[in-house]
Amino acid sequence: MNEHSQPAISATGATAPGRAGPKAERLVIEGLRLAFGANEVLKGVDLVIEPGEFFAFLGPSGSGKSTLLRAIAGFGPKPSGRILIGEEEITDEPPWKRNVGMVFQSYALWPHMTVWKNVAFGLEERGMRRSEIAPRVRRALELVGLAEFADRRPSQLSGGQQQRVALARTLVVEPRVLLLDEPLSNLDANLRVQVRRELKQLQRQLGITTIFVTHDQEEANTTSDRMAVLNDGLIQQVGAPVELYDRPANLFVATFLGSANLIEGEVLADGGRRLFSGRGGFRFPVAAAEPEGRAHALFRPQIVHLGGNPAGGDSNEFFTFSGRVVRAEFLGMLVRYGVEVAGIELLVDEPHEPDRPVLPEGAEVTGRILTRQIRILRG
């Protein structure tokens, strides 16, 4: 059996190891700060993760996302601030007393042990009787679709199967919160898609509060109920993936989450209304409540449409432009164009259709942007 034909994680017919499902817990972080020597890595993190949420920490390398996850688990230097699970503060508790489960990026399986022994290890360390261990291990392996692999060693498993063993080993101890530190990064692209879907399905079945660390935006968008975007040790924004993509709080979130066009300019008073005026002749009305001053206009490539003038509506509904194609990238489902408009290159995503030719470099084009879909950002 290869990596692409392994049994799916069970969605029915299996229960959480030892009981119908762990009680979903709320996790609260208050004023968390953590430093490695003189290097402050977390700079005052406040966060509430609701019971049963699938929550993602997303950010670039060095943003503090893995350090924050490890602080919840109790690894690394002691932070200042507070961490609570339910009503219990765990900030000063050692890792083995917190009853949180962590799946590491490397899986950290014992190579000399069978799958069964790897999963049973945590229960044995807790001094549990063999008669209690066996049914819990069996149910954990059934839950992740690996019951038939119990006698194999990690070296005899695919990467996806090893990841499932690590997950079963964590779930069998019935953690209050499940922590996942980039658990899919060692899998190939196709398998990552399969396993992340199954992971989300399993989390829904168990109802366990889960925190998933990733630098992969697609993983965070497709798995999480909500996510926190981190940068430089601070949370930049918290919300549902669609909310953060469509309504970013600042320039970092806007540019980190997907591709974006940013036009530098300012908001001006024009009689009883407000206008954005920016480079490249970008000038269009904005909300009357928008304060005057320096700002950026943000719009995603997919809301820019190439072609003739829009049918109907007045000129305030659309910003229209003329430009020249300077590059075209065929990406399968879409074609990404670079269109030069008055010295500014705009990104434009057009859906690919078999009968629609790709525009050549140098082609003269017109385009339009629905102004109500343009966001004004200030920091």
Same domain, 239 and 128: yes
Instruction: Tell me the two tokens of residue 167.
Output: 């997950």
For the CA atoms of the chain, what is the radius of gyration?
25
Per-residue model confidence (pLDDT) at position 158? 85
**Distance of alpha carbon 27 from alpha carbon 15, whole angstroms:** 24
**Distance of alpha carbon 1 from alpha carbon 145, whole angstroms:** 13
pTM of the complete model:
0.85
Instruction: Tell me the two tokens of residue 250.
Output: 């600042």
Final residue of a structural domain among 251, 276, 304: 251
Residue 82 corresponds to which amino acid?
R
Instruction: Tell me the two tokens of residue 352.
Output: 């690919």
**Distance of alpha carbon 158 from alpha carbon 155, whole angstroms:** 8
**Distance of alpha carbon 203 from alpha carbon 206, whole angstroms:** 5
Range of the domain at 287: 259-377
Measured in Å, how far apart are the chain's first and last C-alpha atoms? 52
Same domain, 236 and 269: no
Same domain, 241 and 278: no
Same domain, 213 and 151: yes
261, 301 in Cβ contact below 8 A? yes
Per-residue model confidence (pLDDT) at position 315? 62
Per-residue model confidence (pLDDT) at position 313? 45
In sequence order, which residues have a C-beta less than 8 Å from that of residue 116 and are 6 or more positions away? 137, 141, 150, 151
Same domain, 235 and 273: no
CATH number of 125's domain: 3.40.50.300
**Distance of alpha carbon 3 from alpha carbon 157, whole angstroms:** 9
Cα-based distances in Å from 64 to 85, 134, 151, 160: 20, 39, 39, 27
Q: Among residues 232, 273, 252, which one has the least CA distance to residue 378?
A: 252
Same domain, 225 and 297: no
CATH number of 330's domain: 2.40.50.140
Same domain, 92 and 59: yes
Same domain, 29 and 146: yes
Final residue of a structural domain among 203, 226, 251: 251
15, 139 in Cβ contact below 8 A? yes
Per-residue model confidence (pLDDT) at position 127? 85
CA-based torsion, 187, 189, 191, 192: positive or negative? positive
Final residue of a structural domain among 227, 251, 275: 251
Q: Are strands 177-181 and 209-214 parallel, antiparallel or unpaired?
A: parallel
Residue 6's Cβ-side half-sphere holds a number of Cα atoms within 13 Å equal to 26
Per-residue model confidence (pLDDT) at position 171? 87
Per-residue model confidence (pLDDT) at position 308? 63
Q: How many domains does the chain have?
A: 2
Same domain, 56 and 164: yes
Instruction: Tell me the two tokens of residue 283.
Output: 């000038």
Same domain, 302 and 242: no
In sequence order, which residues have a C-beta less than 8 Å from that of residue 354 and are 6 or more positions away? none
Per-residue model confidence (pLDDT) at position 309? 56
**Distance of alpha carbon 289 from alpha carbon 129, whole angstroms:** 67
Same domain, 343 and 299: yes
Same domain, 263 and 244: no
- Residue recorded with tokens 């990841």: 163
pLDDT in tens, the chain (379 residues): 344 444 444 433 333 443 334 478 999 999 999 999 999 999 999 999 999 999 999 999 999 999 999 999 999 899 999 999 999 999 999 998 998 998 887 778 889 999 999 999 988 888 888 889 999 999 889 888 888 999 999 999 988 888 888 888 888 888 999 999 887 776 777 777 877 888 888 888 889 999 999 988 988 999 999 999 999 999 999 999 999 999 999 999 999 999 999 999 999 998 888 999 999 889 999 988 899 999 999 999 999 999 865 444 446 788 999 999 999 999 999 999 999 999 999 999 999 999 889 999 999 999 999 999 999 999 7
